Amino acid sequence: MLSGYESAYDAVSDARHWSGRKLLPKNRVEVFLAEPWRPGAEAEYRAARSFGARIITWFDPKYPQRLREIPDPPALLYVLGDVSLLRNPSVAVVGARGCTLLGLQSVERISSELSRFGITVVSGLAAGIDRQAHMAGLSGIGSSIAVLGAGLDVHYPPENEDVRQALELRGLVVSEFGPGTRPEARNFPYRNRIISGLSLGVLVGEAAARSGSLITARLATEQGREVFALPGPLGQPTFAGCHRLIKQGAALVESAEDIVRTLRYQFSAELASVPKALPVQAQPAPAQPVALTAYPRPPAAPPAVPAQAKALPANLTDEERALLTGLTQEGKVHIDALIQALGWESHMVSRRLLVLEMQGLVRQWPGMYYSLT
């Protein structure tokens, strides 16, 4: 119904015609016009504002386009943190609460690699795999988004309070549930459809045969998203769900590169729509990416000798050309050196490098060093 109007105000103002437009049955329109919902809606709005939550409706330009495309998108989102992450290319990483050390280590490695690519890691703020995915995502410039099955004023689970605070400061926390909503079991399938809906693909890091993560994988398939799964030891019950997904056609994943290569066309399309960088002279001093102490950044290498202009393809943007002229085939340049030399924000450099890598023009080396291919 919302897609038929330009704003929520226009939709409500036209409520008397909903029945004639076949949007709602006449009896339900009459109930709506009586406004029994108004006191509760006003109380919910005041409660959200009381703790600083922002409300993003279907009509807000910041409402993520990917979420609009799923069969049952939420009418609004309550958010705390960096709203700009909703426009970033994202991959969901989900899995078991009771997981193995292997699962935790694998998810940590892949999620941190995704974030260093500039890809946002989306998960559900549960214990185990979700927690590890968020922590690793926060270690890089891609950051992380948590989708809750409760109101934003309900801090659950309590053992993840440290991650929750970090997400509010350096990432994003999202919920479609109003303030005061408790984390009841029936809420989590609704949460899961948003986790997959925000993402271009879903990685199941570790899941038993009856894991709730398999619900997210199923929803991802229904939404047209890619599904990935981490293999585990044969006979390990907590990986039985992952093995089943692989048998059903999910892509077996060993590294973030496997995910990026599978999604390279979707990433390229999204990153190509990112606004172009300002000229170097107009750029403010770049903010340093936030990293957890467990993931130190290597020192920047000295800028490399610029590549010859004649070696660059003719169909590049000015920003891509500027990046390539700071690289050579012989030397490796750290991303920090490129950020400093160009004067751009870190996420802009990372996104452009990812596009160039997908075009086969740039190679990434361990430690976030880059060279021409």
Residue 22 corresponds to which tokens in the numbers above? 């076949």
pLDDT confidence of residue 29: 83
Map out the domains of the chain with their CATH numbers. Answer: 78-271 (3.40.50.450), 278-285+299-372 (1.10.10.10)
pLDDT confidence of residue 38: 86
The 10s digit of each residue's pLDDT in 305-333 is 344 444 566 677 888 888 888 887 667 88
What pTM did the predictor assign?
0.76
Calculate the alpha carbon distances from 91 to 55, 259, 320 in Å: 23, 9, 24
Cβ–Cβ under 8 Å, residues 163 and 121: no
Q: In what order do the strands lie in the sheet with 120-123?
A: 54-57, 76-81, 172-175, 144-147, 120-123, 90-94, 201-204, 226-229, 251-252
Measure the CA–CA gap between 34 and 37, rounded to whole angstroms: 8
Query: Which positions of the chain have pLDDT values less than 70?
Result: 1-3, 271-314, 329-330, 366-367
